[in-house]
Each structure stands twice: as C-alpha cells, then as structure tokens.
Chains A and B, each alone.
Chain A
Amino acid sequence: MPKSLAELATIARRIRREIVVMIGAAKSGHPGGSLSAVEILVELYFDYMRIDPQKPKWPDRDRFILSKGHAAPVLYAAMAEAGYADTPLDQLNTLRKLGSVYQGHPDVRFIPSLEASTGSLGEGLSLALGMGIAARLDGRPSRTYVMLGDGESQEGQVWEAAMAGAFHKLDNVVAIVDYNGIQLDGFVKDIMEIAPLADKWRSFGWHTLEIDGHDLAAIRKAFEEAEATKGRPTAIVAHTVKGKGVSFMENNPKFHGTAPTAAEVELALKELN
C-alpha cells in the first residue's frame, strides 16, 4: 500500500535520528552527506522503487547504487527500516566496528542485499549503466537509480559514463546528484566549481530535472517523469542542504566527515524529535 507523505516524512525523521546516533556511536563517519540524502532514499525505498526486501535478489527488482559511498549510514538506515534480513535495525550502532556488517563504506561481502560496493568516488554511474544494459538485454523492467555527490561529479569518469548513458539511450537509468554545495575540503565553488551542473547533464544528452531534494512530492514527481521519458536517461539535480535537519550541521563543511560528540548527538536528537 502506498505511503502518505506524512508517513514518509516520519520515516525520514527516524532515519535522521538513526544516522546521527550511529555515527556518534562509531565516533567517525560522514553525517553531512548522509543527512542531505535522506528524503531521496526514503522516496526510493519506501515509495517508488519496485523492491521486495524479503526477496532481495528478485531479478526484476529496481536497483539503487550509492555512488557516494561515504554516505553509507543513510543507506544502512533506509535498508534496515525497509526490513532487509542482512541489515538488522538493532545493529546500526555497530557501524564501523570490527566485524560489523555496517562497514565504513557499503560492502557487498558483508551485506549481500546491497547492489554494489562503493567508496571510490566516480564509479557508481558506470555500474548503473552496466546494470541498465543488462536489464535491457534480458528484457527486464528493472530500473537503476544511482546517487552521486556534487563533489564526486568532478571525476572525469562521471562524464564518460554520462556520454555513454545517452549514447546507449539507457532510459532505465536515473542519476540523482545530491547537490549540497559542499565536499571534503570545503565549498564546491572553492574547490572545483561544477556549475552550471544541469546544463552539463543536458548537453550530455540526458533528460534533466532540477528539484528541491528535500521535497518528497517533488522527488516522486521527478521519478515519474524519468520513467515516462523514453529514449534517454534522466538526471535529477537535487538541491539539498548538507547536514539537513540538524541546525549546527547544516551547511557546515566540518560535518562532512566529523562525527558528532555525545553532547552533539543529544542536541541533534532534540531537534529531530
């Protein structure tokens, strides 16, 4: 049964809390880019993707690849909430500990339900193209969604893949850029400007949309439009806020890769109530 926007928003809030708590417990990790991606993953895992967490290897399923693998906590929380057997909710707080299935970056050796191991930036879109091509060859309805970072978009491979995706008319692939304006060393505009980003995707032949990446209805609408678009892949440039939902993390480059202290976790949880 489809979930209401209010229900999805509730799940998003829960996932934000889990992200903050698990990274706090790990004492290392990447809160900013996990929090900026929450609504997009919620829309994918709880509304739009054709998936069955009880049958993670169902061949006709839709697939999601987190190309910006350092945002693993948002993916772990979403999959745990969705009920995959290999992502237990009660173990989220073992993130990054020796032996945990919740590795620092998504790792299929530990969580077979993941679609790909990622962590070296710039590679997920190419993986998505391969899956899209395979689905087409096999005549399957699967669609493949891949999330990239804006800093990640500086990798040349992203644009090699963009060219190839349009050339091969992979209308079963959707690229989503988490355009939060911040990367590791600071603001994207100060490290390596990537604007005008939507124009770049358009010029590479992708049907390109720009949306508010925290607006669940807008995200859903974008996925619908992507699915209705034939003969070329779709890129969704999602404008987001890094650290979204936790005031002291929002737009703060420090929380790209710094874990909150115990006191900061508490503060954050108050805001996320």
Chain B
Amino acid sequence: MAAKTRFEVKLGPATREAFGRALVELGRENKDVVVCDADLSKSTMTTYFAKEFPERFISLGIAEANMAAVGAGLAYAGKIPFIASFSAFAMNKGFEQLRACAAYPQVNLKVVGTHSGISIGEDGPSQMSVEEIGLACSLAGFVVIAPADEASTKALVRAAAAYVGPVFIRTGRPKAPVIYNGDQKFEIGKAIEVVAGQDVAIVASGLLVAEAILAAETLEGEGVRARVIDMHTVKPIDRETIRHAATETGAIVVAEEHLVDAGLGVRVAQVVAETAPCPMEFVGIQNTYAESGQPEELMDKYGLVARDVAAAVRKVVARKKQ
C-alpha cells in the first residue's frame, strides 16, 4: 500500500450525499434495485433516486419497523432493496424485524443509516446514532460497513449491491474530509492503510479516519510514526491487517464516532486478543448521550478529534515501553 503522508484534509461531499448519488447509478444499471424510505428522503438523499425512478421508490411513511420487513419481503421476492432512514431509526426501530426477517433467513437486504454519530449537531441525541455498529454486528450474517468519505462510500455502496446477503451501511450528515483519490480500490472486508508507520497503529472508521491522519502528522513531529488504517468494513473484520498491525507496531488505538462499549474498538480488540495481544486505547463516546450543538463543537467536547487520538497514542506508546 502506498504510504501517504503530508495529508491535506479538505472537505468533500457528505457520505449520505455519496450514497444518494451511488443509488442513482445503481438504479440505472439494474432494474431490480428498489429503494424504500420513511419520510426522510430529503435527508437520506434517496430523493435523487426517487426523482429518477419514481416507480421503484417506495414511500412508507414514518414507520421504520414496517419498512425493515417490507424491505425483507422485497428481497425474498428477488429485488435488491435499499431501505434508508437516520441510523437511529433504521436500526433501533427496525432491529427486531432486521433480526427475524433479514438476518436469520439471510435475505438480500441493504440497510442504509444516515445521520450517524453525534456530528449531526443541533438536532441532539434523539436523532443521533451511537450504538448501531454494535447492533448491526449483533445481527449474525450481516456485513457492516462504515465508510469515511465520498469515494469509499460510492464504491462500497456498489459493492454492497453486488454482494448477495444482508448489509448495513453507516453514513453521516456533515461534509466529509476527502481521504481517497480516484484510483483507490475498495473491497468489502479489506482494510486500507492510509498512512504508513511502525510505532503504533490507529484503526479508525468514518470521520475519525481524517482525525487519525491529522493526529499522525502531529505525532510525527514528536518522533512517533503512526500507521493509520481505515477499517471501512467492521464486519467481517480484516483480521490479517489487524494482526499485522499488532505484531509490527505493538500498540493499537481504535477511533470511532460511536459508543466505545459496542463499536469497532471492541471488535478490533477481540482480534488483537486472539492473534497478537498488545496494549490498546479506545477513542469514542464514553457511556453517554451527547447534546445539541454545532458538529465541530460536539466532536471536540466528546473527545473525537485529532487531539484525542494523539493523546490516546501517547498513552498507548508509553504503555508499550513499560
């Protein structure tokens, strides 16, 4: 993997926007792609698909549990259904239906949650989703994807459509820093090393990938060379990349915009424990619900910025030396 340092972080479209655009492409290529939404199409960006393919856009009203099972029914009948809502509602309100109607029978349903994490800002905790990675990973047989930027979202939405089986994709509301240029390839289950380094590895997802890159630059000035890994697929997790990181660096930080109790971190820790145990630290939301505020303010207050990633790295590196 080509090492990229001196990263210039500039903002690109939101991952939900990339999802909406990718859906339209998929709709053009495959008549079996059907989209369901629960009165949030203007926010989930399925509105683009609705405009171009009104007959394949199914409006289901504010009724997410019903939508989950309708989606499963479409999948049973041979369609490739994408159901979309805010992550908080798609996953929480639809969870039992996803379990009984999609996971257990392994139907070809694609669930897309937008407005994930606390970076939605002003609407506050009732609309924020900080547990859905844990929930989605608890659905046996689900593929769980949390892309970081526009390019990876587009590619992974396409990969999800091509994959046969249930998938959950986590996207966000705010503009997302551009991580990848045009020629990067994305594969479900294959993590990407975005910054090379040997002293410590930062495994991140979503908006925290950019924060990890910024942290890596700060740390370089302190003589610590951090590897940054974009773990865009949380399940099935890339065990090899984690094992390598653990053996080669001997210290791992996991960073995510999610409750630390049930997200990427615990899954990475499991692999580390099973393959090459080493000190670890976790950056994420700590046993709380956030509040209203501007996205950047909240990311800062709840410990989800480069400063927090760098602090966790210093801590884990110190532990490594003990």
Given contacts A26-B122, A107-B125, A151-B39, contact A122 B292 (CB under 8 A): no
Q: Which of B43, B88, B89, B123 has the most CB of A within 10 A?
A: B123
Closest to B59 in A: A191
Of the residues B42, B62, B125, B298, contact of A155 by C-beta under 8 Å: B62
Determine which of B59, B92, B301 lies in contact with A185 in the assembled complex, contact meaning CB atoms within 8 Å.
B59
A-contact bits for B12-48, CB 8 A (1 contact / 0 none): 0000000000000000000000000101111100010
**In the complex, A35 Cα to B40 Cα: how many Å?**
21
Instruction: Compute how far the CA of A184 lies from the CA of B115 in the bound complex, rounded to whole angstroms.
Output: 15
Q: Does B220 contact A (CB under 8 A)?
A: no
> Which one of A46-54, A92-100, A161-169, A199-207 is at the B interface?
A92-100
Please report whether the interface of chain A is mostly helix, strand, loop or mixed according to DSSP. Answer: loop
- A262 interface hit (Cβ, 8 Å): no
B291 touches A151 (CB 8 A): no
A132 contacts B by Cβ under 8 Å: no
With contact pairs A98-B293, A104-B292 given, residues A184 and B42 touching in the complex (Cβ less than 8 Å):
yes
Cβ A100 vs Cβ B292 within 8 A = yes
Question: Are B62 and A103 in contact, CB atoms less than 8 angstroms apart?
Answer: no
Interface-located stretch among A113-121, A137-145, A215-223: A113-121
Give chain B's interface residue range (CB within 8 Å of chain A).
Answer: 20 to 34
CB distance from B41 to the nearest CB of A (A): 5
Chain B, residue nearest A30 (CB): B123
Q: Mark B111-125, 1 if CB is under 8 A from A, else 0.
A: 000000000011111
Q: Which residues of chain B are within 8 angstroms of A110 by Cβ–Cβ distance? A: 291
| Chain B contacts for A29, CB-based, 8 A | 122
Residue among B126, B293, B301 with max Cβ neighbours from chain A (10 Å): B126
Least CB separation from A72: chain B residue: B124
Q: Say if the beta carbon of B297 comes within 8 Å of chain A.
A: yes
Q: Is the CB of B39 within 8 A of A192?
A: yes
Interface centre among A97, A98, A118, by most B CB within 10 Å?
A98
Of all chain A residues, the one with the shortest Cβ separation from B127 is A119
- C-alpha gap A167/B279 in the complex (Å): 57
- A105→B126 contact, CB < 8 A: yes
List residues of chain A with CB within 8 A of the CB of B292.
Answer: 96-98, 100, 103-104
Q: Is A69 within 8 A of B62, CB to CB? A: no
User: A252 an interface residue at 8 Å Cβ cutoff?
Assistant: no
The answer to the question of B306 belonging to the interface, with a C-beta cut-off of 8 Å to chain A, is no
Taking CB atoms and an 8 Å cut-off, the chain B residues in 260-299 that contact chain A are: 291-294, 297-298
- Chain A positions 10 through 23: 1 when the CB is less than 8 Å from some CB of chain B, otherwise 0: 00000000000000
CB contact under 8 A between A191 and B39, given known A26-B122, A97-B293, A118-B126 = yes
Q: Using CB atoms, name the residue of chain B closest to A184.
A: B39
0/1 string, B35-75, CB within 8 A of A gives 1 = 00101111100010000000000011111011000000000
- In the complex, the answer to whether A184 meets B59 with C-beta atoms within 8 Å is no
What is the CA–CA distance of A119 and B60 in the complex, to the nearest angstrom?
A: 19
4 tightest Cβ-Cβ pairs between the two chains A and B? A119-B126, A192-B61, A98-B293, A154-B61
- In the assembled complex, 14 residue pairs joining A and B whose CB atoms fall closer than 8 Å, in A order, are A26-B122, A28-B123, A98-B292, A103-B291, A105-B125, A107-B124, A119-B123, A119-B125, A120-B127, A156-B65, A184-B62, A185-B47, A191-B59, A194-B61
Known: A118-B126, A192-B39. 17 other contacts (CB 8 A): A28-B122, A98-B297, A98-B298, A98-B301, A103-B291, A105-B124, A105-B125, A107-B291, A119-B123, A120-B126, A151-B39, A152-B62, A156-B65, A184-B39, A192-B59, A192-B60, A192-B61
